Amino acid sequence: MKLISVAGARPNFMKIAPLADAIAAHNATTSPGIEHILVHTGQHYDQEMSDLFFKELEIPEPDINLGVGGGSHAIQTAEIMKRIEPVLIEHQPDYLLVVGDVNSTIACALVAVKLGIKVIHVEAGLRSYDRGMPEEINRVLTDAISDLLFTTEREATGNLLREGVSPDKIHFVGNVMIDTLLTHRIKAEQSDVLERMGVTGEYGVVTLHRPSNVDDPAQLAMLMATLHEVSSALQLIFPVHPRTRNSLSAHGIPVAEGICFLEPLGYLDFLKLQSSARLVITDSGGIQEETTVLGVPCLTLRESTERPVTVTHGTNRLVPLRHDAIVAAAREILGGAVVTGRIPELWDGGAAQRIISILLNLA
């Protein structure tokens, strides 16, 4: 079997890592094994951060780097399509495997399906039902053209069935991102990130990067004022996404006092930061999942989530995008409200192995 897998952005790296490990484990005991070609599109093009994630997660060096870089959604998607096409034509894989919902996912899947190459979508079926989110468009379209769809939660499987996807194509396998968390959790605990930052006592973690939250200057100013108020009761640590930093600077929005602003962190440092936090405030999809497994209260500043199991089973809570609602939710947790949850079904560290086993059975 010849398999090309695609990673384009940092969340993809966490999903590709356990799959690469499972393939390597299979190849160590079976011959002929799976010929695996790893393509990095370069959608997240910060070389230092990309290199750090690959090193920390022990992902093999990409066989091919498309070096796409930034640009608008249209420019970036088109450039990825142009650069992946000759790769697929040259290597003629049996399958193209894509993960998540970034532009690299839909761009590579579109090219593959038009070349008659079967497409595998890992983390399929997630739906926020908010078409204002670019990721939602990517998810829906990728699922519609994929030949094999691997889901992280039962509700995602139900979404696909309601959309008319054949049950034969759908496999509920669990969450590869949680495979990575469980593999590296002990190592992350050894991180000295808190000591390096001089953090003592309780603290909260903040991440914001969604265009709907950070591109609108009025919205971003409201969020910064809200975080400033929360920081009067709890020290906040805020690794700032480049998009958010640029927006703060471009619109002259003052940085809230009492908040520790950082450059983006590596995987292990950030996992340590999350696991020891009193509270996480975010608009990220993956962090909703990670905090659920870590048992850390999470306030998600969005009107909807494509990961509902983190709310129904986990420690995540959707909070309306209003100053009073966010402050009230944070005060409730800091006031001693008990936040309990349980780890969702099959989030047990075995998702990647289940995916590879299914592929081998289908070969």
Instruction: Give the residue numbers marked as catalytic.
Output: 209
CA dihedral 278, 13, 312, 244 (to 10 degrees): 60
> How does DSSP classify residue 341?
-
Listed residue (278, 99, 252, 128) closest to 199, CA to CA: 278
CA 103 to chain centre: 13
Residue 271 identity: L
Q: Which of 274, 289, 302 is nearest to 214 (CA)?
A: 302
- Residue 106 burial (CB count, 10 A): 26
Q: What is the DSSP secondary-structure string of 45-92?
A: --HHHHHHHHHHTTPPPPSEE-------HHHHHHHHHHHHHHHHHHH-
- The neighbouring-strand residues paired with 37 are 4
Give the sheet arrangement for strand 298-300, strand by strand: 259-262, 235-239, 203-206, 279-282, 298-300, 316-318
Q: Which residues pair with 4 in a beta bridge?
A: 37, 96
Q: Report phi then psi at 109, rounded to 5.
A: -65, -40
Torsion of CA 248, 252, 253, 256, to 10 degrees: 90
- In this structure, what token pair is assigned to residue 44? 């997240």
